């Protein structure tokens, strides 16, 4: 292992065919490796977004007769947990390392994140270079990478906002991917640099989550 400590041996775990054996191997090897990396990244990510973030190991998705396809460590503010708040995530899949910003639709109880995205859609579309390699992971089946997102279009950001409107939706999950061959040589600074590019979106969602729902009784 080199750089981040995520190398060929870790990616090779996703080639284990047996679902239970793969799950055990990931829990024994990759989950602790990401936890260590999360602890190393937390202070830098907190500086990037301007608020304290705590690392939280992601839950290993275990479906009957299907092996886990992804392991992640999430970073979020407060004590509600990443599943109930906007968060950053560093994830490992079969052939890629991913830096992502995500928020479940159920976490937008007051609609503040949705309203923030709609309000700032034009501004986000003008960001240019920071979002040029952005992909939307909502509904991703862990096969081919999602296509590059049309982040230059305000309509794309409005679609993300609409994804927060239904609790049945996966919500927002966007980010940048490195192939495994490149990920093995990355340093912490490289990862922080990408999250710095994604920070405006996280900050927008976090600010929206902090806004109470409008009082419709008045």
Distance CA 179, CA 48 (A): 24
Strands 96-103 and 70-76: unpaired
Residues near 121 by beta carbon (within 8 Å), at least 6 away in sequence: 154, 155, 157, 158, 161
**Cα separations in angstroms, 36 against 62, 104, 146, 190:** 22, 25, 28, 17
Residue with tokens 């590019």: 197
| pLDDT for 2 | 45
Distance CA 5, CA 93 (A): 15
Distance CA 90, CA 101 (A): 9
Q: How is the chain split into domains, by residue range? A: 8-209
Q: Residue 74: helix, strand or coil by DSSP?
A: strand
Select from 3.40.1390.30, 1.10.10.10, 3.30.930.20, 3.30.70.890 the CATH code of 8-209.
3.30.930.20
| pLDDT for 1 | 39
Bridge partners (DSSP) of residue 87 are 102
Residues near 119 by beta carbon (within 8 Å), at least 6 away in sequence: none
Question: Among 115, 58, 123, 111, which Cα is nearest to 87's?
Answer: 58
Distance CA 83, CA 91 (A): 15
* C-beta of residue 92 within 8 angstroms of C-beta of residue 113: no
* C-beta of residue 11 within 8 angstroms of C-beta of residue 71: no
* C-beta of residue 139 within 8 angstroms of C-beta of residue 131: no
Output the tens digit of pLDDT for each of the chain's 218 residues. 347 989 999 999 999 999 999 999 999 999 999 999 999 999 999 999 999 999 999 988 777 788 999 999 999 998 889 999 999 999 999 999 999 999 999 999 889 999 999 999 999 999 988 899 999 999 899 989 999 999 999 999 999 999 999 877 789 999 999 999 999 899 999 999 999 999 999 999 999 998 765 544 45
Q: Tokens representing 36?
A: 């260590």
Cα torsion angle, 77, 79, 82, 85, sign: negative
CA neighbours within 13 Å on the CB side: how many for 131?
23
| pLDDT for 143 | 87
Q: DSSP code of 47?
A: H
């Amino acid at each position: 292992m080199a750089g981040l400590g995520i190398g060929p041996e870790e990616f090779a775990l996703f080639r284990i065919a047996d679902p239970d054996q793969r799950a055990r191997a990931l829990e024994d090897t990759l989950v602790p490796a990401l936890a260590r990396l999360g602890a190393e990244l937390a202070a830098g990510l907190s500086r990037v977004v301007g608020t304290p973030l705590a690392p939280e190991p992601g839950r290993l998705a275990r479906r009957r007769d299907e092996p886990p396809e992804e392991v992640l460590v999430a970073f979020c503010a407060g004590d509600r947990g990443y599943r109930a708040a906007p968060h950053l995530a560093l994830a490992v899949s079969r052939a890629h390392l991913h830096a992502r910003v995500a928020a479940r639709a159920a976490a937008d109880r007051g609609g503040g994140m949705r309203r923030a995205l709609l309000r700032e859609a034009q501004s986000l579309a003008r960001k240019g270079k920071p979002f040029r390699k952005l992909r939307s992971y909502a509904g991703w089946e862990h096969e081919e990478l999602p296509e590059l997102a049309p982040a230059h279009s305000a309509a794309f950001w409005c679609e993300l906002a609409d994804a927060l409107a239904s609790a049945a939706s996966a919500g927002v999950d966007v980010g940048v991917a490195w192939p495994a061959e490149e990920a093995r040589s990355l340093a912490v600074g490289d990862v922080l640099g990408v999250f710095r590019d994604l920070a405006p979106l996280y900050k927008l969602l976090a600010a929206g989550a902090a806004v109470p729902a409008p009082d419709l009784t008045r």
